[in-house]
Homo-oligomer: A and B are copies of this chain.
Amino acid sequence: MRAAVLTGLGQVELQDRPEPDARPGWVVVAVESASLCGTDVHQYDGRIDTPFPRVPGHDFAGRVESVGEGVEESWVGRPVAVKPSLPCNDCPECDSGKPFDCKKKKLIGLWSDGCMTEKVAVPVVNLIPRPDGVEAWQASLLEPLAVGLNTVDRLRIILGESVVVLGQGPIGLALTRLCALSGAGKLIVTDAREAPFTVSRAFGATDCVNVAEVDAKQAVLDLTDGVGADIVIETSGFPASSAMVLDAVRKEGKVAHIGWANDLPPLPVIPIMAKTLTVFGIGGNGGRGQYERALELVRSGRFDLDPLVTHRFSLDDVAQAFETAASKADGAIKVVVTP
């Protein structure tokens, strides 16, 4: 079968690979749609170390093609979304039959070959049945929603609280929509490009601040009567953005940190104490519940994924897909790849 393979920095090519088998407890999923994520791009551009060669990709959906020993036959043919982290099979949680609670999960596409191909084998516990009304391309875009749900679940927004979302990449945009749905009052977003703001506004942002043009911190203070926002969520992973988090939040406010980069500046402790803040570190996409709820948000129409998808490529053009996602050319937000 065809597979996209990262062979080195900035190098992705189509290769022929053998089809996977379904081990006991595993299934083979025929990929119907996959999406590119910041992680894939950083594997490509070198900000995340990757053991090459590697088939990248972890956010995907498809249909079960075959099942291994011990898995019910009725799975075959069912449309599914796939939770992308594999249990380690080597910790107390995995040993006691709770692989979803594994604390050392490994992301496919990074620690094992991923979904930018035609067929992928995964444990049956990673499958999430796809309800009627959710198409494969939609179910291949769930991860930013799952990360976002994981965030709003911990922030517990009180109806009317002011929220700032720093960065309007896919995760920032997902959080914009999820905060709007969760009761945010004033909902301020920032980015260094104008392009995503059209989506931000459609998703419920009340104020869009272009950090390339204005002093974002001052803009947030101006929009919040000088006191700062109730909640500040940093998704950009940019040092300058991370550095303003503690200034933009009000006394006794809440901060969530999601944007991940090796060069993030550390957080000074004094303002965290002086302002009596609560800082939430968000480290992943949560559990099965987050994926199921993301599917329901899409199915019910409360989260419209359409504005996020700016580019679609076939697997044959995967090199172009990576180039587009990495350069953010043409206002790229989400790039979808179809085998």
* A160 with B293, Cβ < 8 A, contacts A183-B183, A279-B278, A281-B278 known: yes
For this chain, the copies found in one complex come to 4
Most B CB contacts (10 A, CB to CB) among A160, A185, A278 go to: A160
A300 contacts the other chain (Cβ, under 8 Å)? yes
Give the CA-CA distance A264 to B267 in the complex, in Å: 11
Q: Which residue of B lies closest to A254 (CB)?
A: B278
Once the chains are docked, how many angstroms separate the CA of A281 from the CA of B280? 11
Interface centre among A276, A277, A281 (most CB of B within 10 A): A281
- Distance in Å: Cβ of A90 to nearest Cβ of chain B: 14
Closest to A264 in B: B269
Q: Given A272-B279, A273-B257, A281-B275, are A149 and B159 neighbors across the interface (CB < 8 Å)?
A: yes
Q: Is the pair A297, B160 in contact by a Cβ cutoff of 8 Å?
A: yes
Check A185–B257 contact: CB distance below 8 A: no
Question: Is A331 interfacial (CB-CB < 8 Å)?
Answer: no
Interface size on A, residues (CB 8 A): 54
Q: Does A153 contact B (CB under 8 A)?
A: yes
What is the chain B residue whose CB lies nearest that of A154?
Answer: B278
- Complex partner residue of A159 from B276, B283, B293, CB under 8 angstroms: B293
> Nearest CB to that of A162 among chain B residues?
B296
Q: Are A264 and B270 in contact (CB under 8 A)?
A: yes
Q: Quick check: is A260 within 8 A (CB to CB) of the other chain?
A: yes
Chain B contacts for A149, CB-based, 8 A: 159
* A266 to chain B: closest residue by CB: B266
Mask, A64-96, CB within 8 Å of B = 1, is: 000000000000000000000000000000001
